[in-house]
Amino acid sequence: MSGHSKWSTIKRKKGAIDAARSKVFQKLAKELYVAAKGGDPDPNNNAQLRMVVEKAKAENMPKANIESAIQKAANKSGGENYESIRYEGYGPSGIAIMIDCLTDNKNRTAGFVRSTLTKKNGNLGTDGSVSYMFKRKGVIVLENVYEEEKVMEDILSLDILDMEIDEDITIYTEPDSFISVKDELDKLGYDKYIMSEVTYVPDNYMTLDEEGTEKVISLIEALEDIDDVQNVYHNLEM
């Protein structure tokens, strides 16, 4: 399986820009709040919250920010009520796109998503029009700074689906195995995480020329700039 480099490349790019990092932290705070409010505010007793915490840590979100978002939900302060909505559609050249949102105003969010797709040569599809092309998996990406033979030995002993050692070290798990694999990696001393989350991975990727790729990236970045958009999944090979 290939395509993991696009995640690490995009995250490093965003990590280099303070404004973009702030935007990422705001979205993570919302996701933490929703996960904590919907269950136990203790990540050890709330698998969904624990997954979001791991995602936030991989994004280098400050511990204080993580705890503040969870505490806000535990105190029931603010009273925000967010609804999860998924939009499916296509970008330029037929690239499949799924857009997950958390919103307190569905009409506002739908308008922003629809107009952004239209402006960037994409279009909305019906429910299920592209989601069948993706599988939910745990994805853990480590910096490739470890001794390769030991990495192979350690990781292949874990409950994983697949792994790659290339520019980075990418590990795929079943969603239910993600936390246990992450815990084992921590115990084994691995700590250079680029990405650590349960996400959607396409079954197959599409390769475009440079111009087509730039158009799709422009659409993805425009969608990610919408406050209500939490995650954008796509099948572009970068």
Residues 21-79 pLDDT 10s: 888 999 999 999 999 998 899 999 999 999 999 999 999 999 999 999 999 888 875 56
Burial (0-12, 13-18, 19+ Cβ within 10 Å), 10: middle
pTM, two decimals, is 0.86
Amino acid at 158: L
Whether the CB-CB separation of 117 and 124 falls below 8 Å is answered with yes
pLDDT at 227 over 60: yes
Whether the CB-CB separation of 201 and 172 falls below 8 Å is answered with yes
CATH class of residue range 5-74 = mainly alpha
Q: Specify the pLDDT at position 14.
A: 45
Q: Specify the pLDDT at position 18.
A: 65
Q: Write the CA distances from 236 to 10, 138, 187, 198, integer angstroms.
A: 13, 19, 34, 19
Which tens digits make up the pLDDT trace of 141-182? 999 999 888 999 999 999 999 998 888 999 999 999 999 999
Which tens digits make up the pLDDT trace of 174-223? 999 999 999 999 999 999 999 999 999 999 999 999 999 999 999 999 99
The rounded distance, in Å, linking the Cα atoms of 46 and 182 is 16
Token couple for 204: 């197959």
Residue 46 DSSP label: -
